[in-house]
Amino acid sequence: MPRIANLIFAGVVCLIASMLLVAVWQSGTRANTHAAPEETPQVAQLPSEATTTHPVIIRKPSGPPRIELAGMDPQGRTGSVACSTCHAVRKPNLENVSAATLDEFHQGMTFNHGKIACYACHNPDDSDALRLADGKSVAYENVMTLCSQCHSKQAESFAHGAHGGMNGHWDLSRGPQMKNNCIDCHDPHAPSYPKMVVGFKPKDRFNAPLDDHQDHEGAESHDDH
Amino acid sequence: MTTTKNPSRPSLPIVENFTRRAAVKGAFATLGAGAFVAAISPLRQAAKNTTAAEFMQQHYTELSPEQKADVIARLEAETKEKYGADVTIADDRPIPGTKFVYAINLSVCNGNGKCVEACHKENNHDRDTNQSYIRVIEMPKGTMDMEKGSTTYTGTVPKDDKFYLPVQCQQCDEPPCVDVCPVKATWKEEDGIVVVDYNWCIGCRYCEAACPYHARRFNWKKPEVPAEEVNPDQSYLSNRIRPVGVVEKCTYCLHRTRRGKLPACLEACPTGARVFGNILDKDSNIRWILENKRVYILKEELGTKPAFFYYFD
Amino acid sequence: MSSITAPPDITEPGDNESHITSYPKFIGRSLWLATEGSLAFYAWMTMLTALFLVGANAWANQVAGGMVGTNMTDQVSWGLYIANFTFMVGLAAGGVMMVIPAYLYHDRKMHDVVIIGELLAIAAIVMCLMFVVADLGRPDRFWHMMPVIGKFNWPISMLTWDVIVLNGYLVLNLHICGYLLYMRFLGRKPNPTWYIPFVMLSIVWAISIHTVTAFLYCGLGGRPFWNTALLAPRFLASAFVSGPAFIIVSMVLIKRLTGVGGLDHPIATLTKIIRVTILINLLMVASELFTEFYTGGSHVSAAKYLFFGLHGKTALVPWTWTAIALNISAALLFLWPGLLGFRWRPLLVTACVMAFVGAWIEKGMGLIVPGFIPSTLHEIVEYVPSQLEWKVTVGIWAFGLMVFTIAIKTALPTLKHPAEH
Ligand code: SF4
Ligand code: SF4
């Protein structure tokens, strides 16, 4: 019977060979799919050629902060005042670098933004605006210009969508994109991103044992059979 | 044994009492058949939920435009009937010249899970199980070994010694899940998205075993979504409410992204860790990231070539 | 689903009767014969029917209510069904251990009873197909898997290969058994050209079914526990333990219950085969474990979970150690030469049962399930089959045993009076 044994052995070899062929063919098709994107660079330019009709809208702060008045005036009116209302008559303390030394109105505020002084960012000459490192005044609306002086890496990432949240469209030919600005997420006086609490978790059956699936037959069966 | 040997054909015994025994046997056979029908009667319930049209429906890629329209009309009516919700099911096709790629900045991600929730709502997942396509792993700093991670963390995040790794379908360029499917119910489209035809999948779950990223979910039961919570903006290949017994997966929200919008998980991310775009567009955000950040992919050694990148900065 | 498809009518018409009339007669007579028996036989069949009905009912409930009735999860997405499927493929392939001595080594005595192995293959494949269907989320869409009318992802998907080889093996064995029994019915001598080539093919095929089934798992890169080249040889080795073990037990029973003679020599041959294969299997398991544990790293976590538990989760540990204890003690028993003595028949049966159960655990709960634990994201989700899964499984086993019993009864005349060829 050795001949038949040989035949059978040959059969097994053929089977394995045919499966190997499939494996090779398979990797061939894979290589093809991989190559496909590289073959279509012309198509690739389509989106950039298309006129970007829609803007990237970066949200801006509405303007310099206003201080809400605590009480009402004798006429019963509430209202708010600008920073300059008080600061016009006060001499700026250019040296101050900490919240601890603040008294009166700013007392008790949190400040945790490196070793910079208040007037590194606030403008001593115009308390309703900010100032850049070179002394140029910059409006509150453009606070991002100010932040970017130090945080250029983040600013660069932001410019390329790699920092900061966004909404809307990835494809500007179809719709606009809305982006946050720095102070939407970072409090400029304590800029580290706040802690959060996890609110939503998938409820796996193993996470919520037994009581969660009493409604079907599997429930009683957790003992070994 | 009531058989005797017939000398002419030794192998085939002749039986006595043929008719009586035949009657008894017939009775038992009938009884057995009756009991069997009774035993499988719950199937009638299941059959009611499957219309003939659904049973006969062809594979997505073989439907003519008219058939597709019929199928979609039927699905919309079924959603109205079963879930009480008015929905529009579109058939979003890939935009020519796009290949979608996702990236996550792990230095920024704080594991708050808003993306998980957004996915849950956007994609009409079962409310009971809080199902979602995204899973976030809390990992100790200083390792990339998922074995040291945990998906069940809760409480205040981020913890000081941890980083957070959200995982969803990586839309692999060489998807093992597609290779193994015996009926071609799942495939990769031109814009890179791996989709499932929920009306073709037979629910063998081979793809679930093959996916190295735990990206696939099986509908162990009929998904329950209250009518007012159903997201009416649906697509055939993505977030329409899935039938029971089939596999589903993240589609990069193709019902949004193929209309130019950002995926729901990205919009929901409060930290801005997520970046999405068309890698074939030289000026896209995603392209900039791949060119300027040191990105890595999960389980590179498996050769799945994910279209999903992670980076720290 | 087990409808005995008629083997192709390939012989020349008989001298006095055409096959058109004699074939139905043959089927009718076989069925009649198969349902004849003692009270014990009826009790046995009634019990199997009852169990099968319980299983059918559980399965119908599973289809109606969704697979939430099983304890499978997205993490452990295959469970008891696929474990049994894998094992049954092995059992089907194991039958070939009778065919090889009978046809390749011309073992005359084995040749007389080789049909037992072939009938076992039929019953086992029928069970395999039932287990696959039980595992489907949408059995109503089964037709999607059929070539031509569905969409068959061949040759890329290993599952399509499996569908082909399993059905092919079923048809082969149905043909071989059907032909031999039919010839017997006609009182003719079987013509070797009509079945010997098929028998030879079935030997290759038997190896292929289990190889392809192993490829189902070992081709998945994302599952390190399965992703080993040793898986297919291991499957074969354990199949050549469980198959012969089952056959030995059935032969001892057949001898007891029906007085068929000439079974002692085949029993001895099969025992000698198990003596070798059980050691080969243990050797392969040991080398697998050595590689896992000595190398360490993340690949070892599934093995660690299996043997010692991981992070306090230990659901599989008792299973594993039971399997190891069974396998090792069975191996020791088989090594003892005295086991073949007539006095020790009960011990032989015990050893076979131990080897059988050991292989069942090793391939099912010990191989399919730990492939999913820890999951690909390294979550540890345990799996213990639900009651519904047990019911369906028992139902399918009952059905398989029913098929096997009926098949053996049909073949009894052949077994009792082996034709001289
Ligand atoms: S991540 Fe998983 S499901 Fe997604 S394409 Fe890759 S293998 Fe498929
Ligand atoms: S579960 Fe569905 S999509 Fe996944 S492999 Fe099976 S048929 Fe294909």
The answer to whether the CB of B307 falls within 8 A of the CB of B152 is no
Pairing of strands B233-235, B88-90: parallel
Q: How many CB atoms lie within 10 A of CB B283?
A: 14
Mean pLDDT, residues B43-59 taken together: 84
CA distance B82 to B223: 11
Question: What is the Cβ-side half-sphere exposure of residue B203, based on CA atoms within 13 angstroms?
Answer: 23
Comparing CB atoms, the residue among B147, B183, B222 nearest residue C374 is B147
Residue A211 has pLDDT above 50, yes or no: no
The answer to whether the CB of A180 falls within 8 A of the CB of B272 is yes
Token pair of A203, please?
């409820």
Please indicate if any CB of chain B lies within 8 Å of the CB of C421.
no
Cα separation values, B81 from A125, B17, B56, B75, B228, Å = 68, 60, 20, 10, 14
Comparing CB atoms, the residue among A25, A206, A219 nearest residue C73 is A206
pLDDT of residue B17: 66
Q: Is the CB of B251 under 6 A from ligand 1?
A: no
Ligand 2 — pocket residues by CB below 6 A? B 180-181, 183, 185-186, 196, 201-207, 247
Task: Answer yes or no: CATH 1.20.1630.10 is held by domain C23-29+36-415.
Answer: yes
Residue C330, Cα to own-chain centre: how many angstroms? 19
For residue range A28-73, list pLDDT tens digits in order: 555 444 433 333 333 333 444 456 689 999 999 888 988 887 777 7
Residue B8, Cα to own-chain centre: how many angstroms? 65
Buried b (16+ CB within 10 A) or exposed e, B11-47: bbbeeeeeeeeeeeeeeeeeebeebeeebbebbeebe
Chain A contacts in chain C segment 215-234 (CB below 8 A)? 215
Could you report the predicted ipTM of this complex, rounded to two decimals? 0.91
pLDDT of residue C201: 94
Chain C contacts in chain B segment 115-144 (CB below 8 A)? 135, 137
Say which amino acid occupies C91: L
Question: What are the percentages of helix, strand and coil residues in chain A, rounded to 5?
Answer: 40, 10, 50
Find the range with the poorest average confidence among B290-299, C2-11, C246-255, C289-298. C2-11
The answer to whether the CB of C77 falls within 8 A of the CB of C372 is yes
Per domain, the residue ranges of chain C are 23-29+36-415
CA distance B219 to C178: 42
Fold type of domain B100-311: Alpha-Beta Plaits (3.30.70)
pLDDT of residue A179: 95
pLDDT of residue B153: 93
Token pair of A121, please?
């960012």
Residue C319 has pLDDT above 50, yes or no: yes
List phi, psi (to 5°) of B248.
-135, 170
Cα separation values, B229 from A159, B86, B237, C177, Å = 36, 11, 20, 60
* Residue carrying structure tokens 């077994």: C415
The answer to whether the CB of A96 falls within 8 A of the CB of A110 is no
Token pair of C369, please?
């399930």
For residue range B129-157, list pLDDT tens digits in order: 999 999 999 999 999 889 899 999 999 99
DSSP classification of residue A36? G
DSSP classification of residue A162? S
Closest residue of B to A172, CA-based? B260
Could you identify the atom of ligand 2 that is nearest to the CA of residue B181?
5
DSSP string across A7-35: HHHHHHHHHHHHHHHHHHHHHHHHHHHHH
The answer to whether the CB of B119 falls within 8 A of the CB of B135 is no
| Whole-structure pTM value | 0.88
User: C6: pLDDT confidence band, cut at 50, 70 and 90?
Assistant: very low
Question: What is the Cβ-side half-sphere exposure of residue C205, based on CA atoms within 13 angstroms?
Answer: 24
Give bridge partners of residue B165 from the DSSP assignment.
Answer: B137
Give bridge partners of residue A179 from the DSSP assignment.
Answer: A58, A166
The answer to whether the CB of C362 falls within 8 A of the CB of C238 is yes
pLDDT of residue A99: 87
